[in-house]
Structure 1
Amino acid sequence: MPSSDSLNVLYGVVFVHKGYYRSGVFKFRMFIPESYPDHPPAVTFMTDLFHPLVDPHGNASLSQQFPTWRPHQDYLFHVLHYIKNMFKKDVLEKLVDKHCYNKEAYRLFRNDRPVFSKLSQQCAQLSITTSHLFEHFPDNNMIRFSPLSDPQFDELKSIIFRSTTSLPESIP
């Protein structure tokens, strides 16, 4: 989703369901330079993330997937697809040291999977704490999560289920 004050800044969230980062909810920002599509966007995670491709400041390395940015062949949706896939085991398995910003995470993934697994799961669990999930940082990020009470959740679920079961009769 675009920021509230610039079309060159997009915000997104990755919900991870499987693997080392399962249950994680990772917020990120994508900056699109004025020179796009000639130059690639930059991606920064706003959620703390122990990942070989992410430095301590949240900057994500895209160079493994995009060693040379190809204008009019590489697009934002390719970058978004890679952001989603970077949490998958097959992408982690193919990482090369020179593309990894977090050398310690890379070393642990290669040489000590139990420790890597524990640290990646810790950051996934931290990402779903109330303080991380519901904070609205920065102010121009229009993606907002807020808690629901059980009755509110049940009401929303009921509305969704009713809308899926009340299809017009002309649709088989």
Structure 2
Amino acid sequence: MTEPQSALLLRRQLAELNKNPVEGFSAGLIEDSDLYRWEVLIIGPPDTLYEGGVFKAHLTFPKDYPLRPPKMKFITDIWHPNVDKNGDVCISILHEPGEDKYGYEKPEERWLPIHTVETIMISVISMLADPNGDSPANVDAAKEWREDRHGAFKRKVARCVRKSQETAFE
């Protein structure tokens, strides 16, 4: 039996990331036998509140990848306007392709089949450095980020960073 196109593509992307690692994250399979479930470790970007953190997340790919985007969920606790309280990441490039029924995003900002794990991760690292407070997945974090960025928000993020360092390699 031949592998579906999505599995071949994911296998190729994983091999490429292992051969040429990208600064800021590493990726691998959660279980060796399942190409559709990846674990990524994201290093908190320098000069951000998340600096020094080691955040674990899972990427779950649909069988019709790359026509549809994967889902991304942080396993490590993270306090961020664009990550809901369950850890689900809410950024444009992970939204289903096509028109946004709310008119907030342009189609080209949403998922496109040209995206790879690398482009997703670069977007997520950029999201950590520069939250989008206009379209929050975590309303409480967004409110704190806007109103008390250097107080309560910063303290909650610092707690998440410390906890991520303690649990990174469990």
TM over 0.5: yes
Aligned counterparts, 1:1-172, within 5 A: 1-3=28-30, 4-16=32-44, 17-63=46-92, 67=105, 68=107, 69-88=110-129, 91-92=130-131, 95-98=132-135, 100-113=136-149, 114-129=151-166, 132-135=167-170
Q: Report the equivalent of 2:6.
A: none
Q: Is the 8 A contact 1:51 1:105 kept in 2?
A: yes
Q: Report the equivalent of 1:140.
A: none
How far apart are 1:20 and its partner, in Å? 0.9
Q: Is the 8 A contact 1:22 1:121 kept in 2?
A: no
Deviations 1:117-165 (A, max 9, x none): 1111111111111xx1232xxxxxxxxxxxxxxxxxxxxxxxxxxxxxx
How far apart are 1:53 and its partner, in Å? 1.0
Q: TM-score, normalised by structure 1?
A: 0.67
Amino acid at match of 2:168: L
Q: Report the equivalent of 2:24.
A: none
Q: TM-score, normalised by structure 2?
A: 0.68
- Report percent identity of matched pairs: 25
| Residues 31 and 110 of structure 1, relative CA distance in 2, 3 Å threshold | same
Aligned length: 128
Which stretch has the larger CA shift, 20-29 or 74-83?
74-83
| Residues 35 and 65 of structure 1, relative CA distance in 2, 3 Å threshold | closer
The runs of 5 or more residues in structure 2 that have no matched partner are 1-27, 96-104
Amino acid at match of 2:152: V
Where 1:87 maps in the other structure, the secondary structure is helix
Q: Is the 8 A contact 1:65 1:82 kept in 2?
A: no
Amino acid at match of 2:76: T
Root-mean-square deviation (Å): 1.9
Q: Aligned partners of 2:112, 2:85: CA distance in 1, in Å?
A: 29
Q: Aligned partners of 1:71, 1:87: CA distance in 2, in Å?
A: 21
Amino acid at match of 1:2: L
Q: Is the 8 A contact 2:94 2:111 kept in 1?
A: no
How far apart are 1:70 and its partner, in Å? 4.3
Q: Is the 8 A contact 1:97 1:103 kept in 2?
A: no
The runs of 5 or more residues in structure 1 that have no matched partner are 136-172
